[in-house]
Homo-oligomer: A and B are copies of this chain.
């Protein structure tokens, strides 16, 4: 089955935003075993959009269109697809109700008139409820061709695709494709690839793909088979081999589990509470922990101690330590972690102090970051020299801090 992606939006043609939807959808389609030969981007222009849709429907079985479903005059995707495929538009009362519901209790006093345009749907199309916006997704089938229309904002597109489009496509694709995620923290992409070179080069089913993330590497092992069971049997030995090669560097094999979820899972398992003492990360570590629903079981409070005075007041860091070694030092990181535990009674404290830039501090370079973790009367401190701009240095610090916390628990409980 051949699929083509069409992105609609003048902002893409002007380069105002980077087209991440296309990568996301391409990955998902590859996972489903669909063939993709073209991806096209076109602006909010009726005539050109119409031509692009026609060409795409000619050369592909399924065309996935993103963007152009908004409430404004410029949003034409639905109207154009309906016209090209010969559907007529009519108001969908279910969608109308959903729009009313969406605006109820919202920050808007009344529903803008043009939002009602989003309640018009092609007659006979499948309407996909959008839980994060007012534009529903649509699936239109005619003469063996399918158009799938999805809203452009990734926060709306991804849940819609995941929950409703993926299963729909899977049903229409006879081959079974199953994949297993393996998430690794602690090694770079080339290191990971080096360690897997023999597996990557000699195998065509399953395949192994690597994806570099901030301070993480994700591996996807994918098998094609004629049944679910067969695919699983193909995956099993390869996944086992990879896990044994990377040991504790693997923090999860669950697709949806993030690093902070893995950390919170371990904390819960060992009935530990954690606190945070953050300087350059400024609250991003606690922010990540609170990402996890149910975090309140393991996290109650955290400190953002950006100034030296705050480090002393809340975390009891010694004046002499700050003077002698500086705020960005092994010693200060250690005292921050100890102080966090002392101030809160938590079992674990993760502390970070570093220079995110853009300006270095004295002899200490931008990118120098110390991360300390206190657990069971032991403090482990790590020194990092991160590359990149302020944002990148802080992002890497957050990941490495969460990972140090994870490893400290594993080491301590030998699990």
Contacts and interface: CB of A to CB of B under 8 A. Distances in A.
A278 to B, nearest CB: 7
B306 A304 contact: no
A280 interface: yes
Oligomer: number of copies: 2
A296 B307 CA distance: 7
Interface residues of A, number: 106
A198 to B, nearest CB: 12
Interface in A341-392: 344, 356-359, 384-385, 387-392
B291 A287 contact: no
Query: Closest 9 A-B residue pairs measured CB to CB?
Result: A282-B290, A283-B283, A15-B26, A15-B27, A301-B310, A283-B286, A302-B304, A300-B307, A112-B190
Interface string A271-301: 0000010101111111101110101100111
Interface string A93-121: 00000000010011110001111000000
Nearest to A273: B307
Nearest to A71: B190
A290 B303 contact: no
Main secondary structure of the interface of A (DSSP, over half): mixed
A18 to B, nearest CB: 4
A56 B16 CA distance: 22
A96 to B, nearest CB: 16
A388 B188 contact: no
A17 B26 CA distance: 10
A26 B384 CA distance: 37
A387 B102 CA distance: 8
B30 A212 contact: no
A278 B289 CA distance: 13
A37 B30 contact: no
A38 interface: yes
A290 B283 contact: yes
B287 A283 contact: yes
B15 A18 contact: no
Given A15-B29, A71-B189, A112-B194, 15 more contacts: A12-B26, A15-B27, A18-B19, A39-B41, A40-B41, A72-B210, A73-B200, A115-B190, A159-B389, A282-B283, A284-B287, A286-B304, A291-B391, A300-B309, A301-B303
A170 interface: no
5 contacts: A16-B211, A37-B48, A108-B191, A301-B304, A303-B304
Nearest to A31: B15
A320 interface: no
Given A194-B112, A301-B314, A295 B306 contact: yes
B20 A358 contact: no
A389 B132 CA distance: 8
A286 B290 CA distance: 14
Contacts of A10: 209
A155 interface: yes
Contacts of A24: 15
A373 to B, nearest CB: 17
A70 interface: yes
Given A132-B389, A155-B392, A211-B16, A188 B301 contact: no
A30 B15 contact: yes
A153 B37 CA distance: 21
Given A37-B13, A42-B37, A72 B190 contact: yes
Contacts of A384: 107
A306 B301 contact: yes
Q: Which of A26, A189, A276, A392 has the most CB of B within 10 A?
A: A26
A325 to B, nearest CB: 19
A28 B209 CA distance: 31
